[in-house]
Structure 1
Amino acid sequence: MEDINLTRRQALGLFGAGLALTAVPLSGCTGSAGGVGGKSSRRAGIILSGPANDGGWGQSHYESLKTACAERSGWKIVDPRENASPTEAADEAQSYVDQGVDLIIAAGTQFPDSLRKVVADAAKKRPEVKFLFTNVSADDLAGYDSVENLETVLPDNVQLGQLAGVVAGLMTSTSKIGFVAGMELSSSKEKYEAYLAAAKKVNASVEGFADYSAGYTEPSQGRSVAATLIARDGVDVIWGDASAAENGVRSALEEAGADSHFNIAQPMDVSGLNQPTVIASTVVDWMIGQAMDRIESGEYGRGHVIEANLQNGGVSLSELSDKVPDDIKQKVEGYASQIRDGKF
């Protein structure tokens, strides 16, 4: 969810109070020996700009990797490389290459530019090593000389925004909905536009208020931004795109009244995890399993873009909170079906 050269999720650190999450084990699953594509076992490594148990961006990727590994014999996870800046990511990726790791996942649009040389060198010297960049389009690879050993995963940001917008538009009592992002990136703007348009479609009186200054590391900054939207603009539902800062957003909503002020989380489902304001989560599966399948079949590479959307299960809406009335749940379900079918 980043543009090239813009570091979106560095040094996330640990969350502040209010997010009780189960820690993610860093050992990964191990695959049983049994030939996959002529190889008895394969290894996958992941480079993250924050912790693997951050409850958001990093954890959604690591959970996707664990699930993909667990569902496929012959794959195992090597230790994830956490809290990596783009510059550090190049060193981490080279380390994986030197180890002969089969699939190297770089989680975020800030990484492709800094990994360009590593990818190019690996294509010549270690062509069996493959790279997967998430939240990256073909346009983001314009500076690459070769993409023979590379694929990307691109979630449907419009569908994500529409799902969140439908929930927000139906649940707002003030007709004022908010969007809090860490930075004014093109992906965040695309999400907000779809979010507001969908909310207006289901509730014509809705007004939208966006703030792109929350950053990605400090809950206190997220809390400050959200508190302003609530007090100044009357916002009572907020969709977040700010990783660790979203914990502060939820704190501000809770202080304003958890029965009347609501949060829609992303990109993983945090519903029920001691989060009284979260009424829904827009969830992304980073399609790592599909990438593994393509490696095993010999199809992998050439800059292929793996889409994550409602149609293939890469994008979804979590179960709605009990705070969402049954009649609204039914409406959300209907609209979600329309969004999936391209009829919204």
Structure 2
Amino acid sequence: MTLKALLAGAIALGLGSAAFADGHTPVKAGFVYVGPIGDGGWTYQHDQGRLALEEEFGDQVETVYQENVPEGADAERVITQMVLGGADIIFTTSFGYMDPTNAVAAKFPDVMFEHATGYKREHPNVSTYDARFYEGRAITGTIAGHMTETNKIGYIGSFPIPEVIQGINSSYLHAKKVNPDVEMVVTWAYTWFDPAKEADAARAMIDQGVDVILQHTDSTAPQAAAQEANANGGRVFTFGQASDMAAFKPSPRIASIIDEWSPYYIKRVGALIDGTYEQTASWAGMPEGEVVIGEITDAVPAEVKAEAEAMIAAITDGSYHPFTGPINKQDGSVWLADGEVASDGDLASMNFYVEGLTGDIPN
């Protein structure tokens, strides 16, 4: 009998979490990672969530993980192996795992699947979860607009998907609000994790006069490139991505966007344990504690730090949304009227730059 069948029987009898009190196998949670757990960024932070899960539930949960799994056919093989290894719930933690996750879910309806940053829930046992990273980008964009002296800020993008485009637009809009002269250089790395490519992108930006670099890639390589430039007389600032990247404080890393997955992982596995698990589509942010701004260092002037903290508070209490009109698209057409707030549907399908950004979004 599968764990899910045992749970169903326990719920029917009104036993709830007592299903595990008489020695049944604990929930086995699998995690599929696109990079190494030591990347210092995206995968590292997901793995911190896995460790928090173990700490929360002790012997009620067992976790397994596979790192450095390419997006595509390899992912389907790894996910299938986790199922055959007895996993009851599997978290696939990269956008490119979306189709492989749904393909495996179709074959194993008794196993629960959770896909990070995707939107396809083709089967009842597939849920999706994401974080509102664009909220954090509003903060780092504001700081970047104040901190640049060359009026050139850079953004290293991974892949041209809505999640990444949201971040570019949010960063630029908020930098522009505090510094009308700011320009943004966008470089596409076409990878989530490739330290060499990320470092090359950062160095190329610095050579173009960029003095503040933001990123939506997973390694600390851009931080190291900025540190190298500063050691040679430069003045370049960066922001930690996905995790704090604290090794580069107080400069070049002057703040960070931290993805705090622990609450979600604890909530979802807890629901499986106590029999309340249901399919869901989660998109949480600062109010839920899933998007956190790391320490703003003393390299940032006190008045800029205060402005950023006020915006954090406003986003957290719901009084401010980073995509509030008036906002035009790159071609000058109106996207949001004055005071209008973007819908989740509009954000989830974002495929354009806002007015003022140059260059094209690649296909």
CA distance, structure 1, for counterparts of residue 141 and residue 98 of structure 2: 30
Residue of structure 1 equivalent to 2:84: 98
Q: Does 1:87 align with 2:73?
A: yes
Determine helix, strand or coil for the equivalent of 1:205: coil
Q: How far did residue 80 of structure 1 move?
A: 1.1
The question of whether the paired residues in 2 share the 8 Å contact of 1:284 and 1:308 is answered with no
CA contact (8 A) 1:103 1:130 kept: yes
Within the candidate set 273, 276, 281, 1:296 is matched to 273
Q: For residue 242 of structure 1, give the secondary structure of its aligned residue in structure 2.
A: coil
Amino acid in the other structure paired with 2:81:
S
The aligned counterpart of 1:253 is 226
Deviations 1:46-65 (Å, cap 9, x if unpaired)? Answer: 11122122111211111111
CA 1:241–1:278 in 2, change beyond 3 Å: closer, same or farther? same
2:129 to 153, 166, 174: 153
When the two chains are superposed, the root-mean-square deviation of aligned CA atoms in Å is 2.2
Q: 2:32 aligns with which of 47, 60, 65?
A: 47
Per-residue CA distance 1:294-316 (angstroms, 9 max, x = gap): 323433233x1122200000111
- Unpaired runs of 5+ residues, structure 2, are 1-15, 322-363
Task: Report what 2:242 is aligned to.
Answer: 267
Change (3 A) 1:327 1:75: farther
Q: CA deviation at 1:274?
A: 7.0
SS at 1:316 equivalent = strand
* Structure 1 residue identity aligned to 2:30: G
Distance 1:155 1:266 in 2: 13
1:130/1:301 contact within 8 Å kept:
no
Give the TM-score normalised by the residue count of structure 2. Answer: 0.75
1:42 and 1:91 mapped to 2: Cα distance?
A: 21
Native 8 Å contact 2:28 2:64 kept in 1: no
Q: Distance in 2 between matches of 1:238 and 1:222?
A: 11
Q: 1:282 to 1:239 in 2, by over 3 A?
A: same
What corresponds to 1:38 in structure 2?
A: 19
What letter is aligned with 1:120? A
Contact 1:283 1:318 in 2 (8 A): yes
What residue identity is the alignment partner of 2:116?
T
Q: Which residue in 2 is equivalent to 1:130?
A: 112
Residue identity opposite 2:28 in structure 1: R
Separation in 1, partners of 2:114, 2:63:
15
CA contact (8 A) 2:101 2:113 kept: no
Query: Of residues 191, 199, 203 in structure 2, which corresponds to 1:223?
Result: 199
Which amino acid letter does the alignment assign opposite residue 39 of structure 1? F
Q: CA deviation at 1:74?
A: 4.0
Contact kept? 1:42, 1:74, Cα under 8 Å: no
Q: 1:214: Cα distance to partner? A: 6.0
Q: Deviations over 1:171-192 (max 9, x none)?
A: 2222221101233333211110
Write the distance in 2 (CA, Å) between the matches of 1:256 and 1:52: 27
Letter in 1 for 2:227: E
CA contact (8 A) 1:159 1:339 kept: yes
Q: Deviations over 1:172-221 (max 9, x none)?
A: 22222110123333321111001111111233332211111363443332
User: Partner of 1:119 in structure 2?
Assistant: 105
Q: Is the 8 A contact 2:102 2:126 kept in 1?
A: no
Provide Cα deviations, 1:6-32, integer angstroms capped at 9, x if missing partner: xxxxxxxxxxxxxxxxxxxxxxxxxxx
Cα distance in structure 2, aligned partners of 1:178 and 1:199: 11
Give the partner amino acid of 2:258: V
TM-score by length of structure 1 reads 0.79
Give the distance between the partners of 1:96 and 1:37, measured in 2 at CA. 26
**Deviation of the 1:76 alpha carbon:** 3.3
Contact 1:180 1:240 in 2 (8 A): yes
Please state if 1:57 is matched with 2:57: no
Q: Which residue of 2 aligns with 1:14?
A: none
Question: Structure 1 residue 241 and structure 2 residue 216: aligned?
Answer: yes
For residues 264 and 38 of structure 1, the distance between their equivalents in structure 2, rounded to whole angstroms, comes to: 45
Q: Is the 8 A contact 1:133 1:152 kept in 2?
A: yes
Distance 1:136 1:252, change over 3 A: same
Alpha-carbon offset, residue 37 of structure 1:
5.4
SS at match of 2:64: coil
- Describe the shift of the 1:89–1:330 C-alpha distance in structure 2 as closer, same or farther (beyond 3 A): same
* Count of matched residue positions in the alignment of Structure 1 and Structure 2: 296
Assess if the C-alpha contact under 8 Å between 1:133 and 1:151 holds in 2: yes
Match of 1:164 among 140, 143, 167: 140
Residues 300 and 272 (structure 1), Cα distance of their counterparts in 2 relative to 1, 3 Å cut: same
Percent of residue pairs identical: 24
Could you say which structure has the higher helix fraction? 2
CA distance in 1, matches of 2:132, 2:139: 11
